[in-house]
Amino acid sequence: MSEYITPIRTYLAVFLALMALTTITVAVAFLELGPFNDIAAMGIAITKACLVVLYFMHVRHSSRLTKMVVVAGFLWLFILIAFIMSDYLTRGMISLQGPIG
């Protein structure tokens, strides 16, 4: 199997992008955006994670099987969070007050 060799240029570009995104994260923290502060912080963090996984961890030029393994990992994280939220978000939907409470 021929292995794709990432040029140093790409690594440097990704590194600079990560640094830039870090700076933006810090800058955004000083702005008053209400709920959008969290969204911006999470959005930037996810973008950075994707860059690391795709380039530094070589997933972009890996086989489809490797990509599937990566996706499975995130899918399982999603299952974990989604099902836990199915508990937390519906807890308030039942009231014990009333005839039985």
Partner 1 sequence: MSDTVTTPPRRKHYLNVDYGIKSWLLTQDHKRIAILYLISITFFFIIGGVMAALIRVELATPLGDLVEADTYNRLFTAHGVLMVFLFLIPSIPAVLGNFLIPLMIGAKDLAFPKLNLGSWYVYNLGALLMVAALLRGGTDTGWTFYTPYSSTFADSEVILTALGAFVVGFSSIMTGLNFIVTIHRMRAPGLTWFRLPLFVWAHYGTSLIQVLGTPVVAIAILLVAAERLLHIGIFDPALGGDPVLFQHLFWFYSHPAVYIMILPSMGVISELIAAFSRKRIFGYKFVAFSSLAIAVLGFLVWGHHLFVSSQSIYAGLIFSVLSMLVAVPSAVKVFNWTATLYQGSISWQTPMIYALGFIGLFVIGGLTGTMLATLGIDMHVHDTYFVVAHFHYIMVGGAIMGYLGGLHFWWPKITGRMYSVFWSKIAAGLIFVGFNLTFFPQFLLGYMGMPRRYHAYPEEFQILNVLSSAGATILGLGYLLPLIYLFWSMRYGERAGDNPWGAYGLEWETSSPPPTLNFDEPPVVTTEAYDYLSLREKKLA
Instruction: Specify the amino acid at residue 37.
Output: N
Could you say whether residue 84 binds partner 1 (CB under 8 A)?
A: yes
Could you say whether residue 94 binds partner 1 (CB under 8 A)?
A: yes
> Least distance (Å) from partner 1 to the CB of residue 81?
10
> Least distance (Å) from partner 1 to the CB of residue 100?
13
Contact 65, 16 (CB under 8 A): no
In this chain, which stretch among 8-16, 20-28, 32-40, 89-97 interacts with partner 1, using CB under 8 A? 89-97
Instruction: Specify the amino acid at residue 35.
Output: P
Q: Which of 7, 93, 97, 101 binds partner 1 (CB under 8 A)?
A: 93
Q: State which of positions 49-68 bind partner 1 (CB under 8 A).
A: 65
The helix/strand count (H/E) of the chain reads as: 3, 0
Angstrom CA distances, 75 to 15, 30, 70, 72, 95, stand at: 27, 33, 9, 5, 33
Crossing angle of the two packed helices 36-51 and 8-29, in degrees rounded to 10: 170
Binding residues for partner 1, rule: CB under 8 A, are 65, 72-73, 76, 79-80, 83-84, 86-91, 93-94
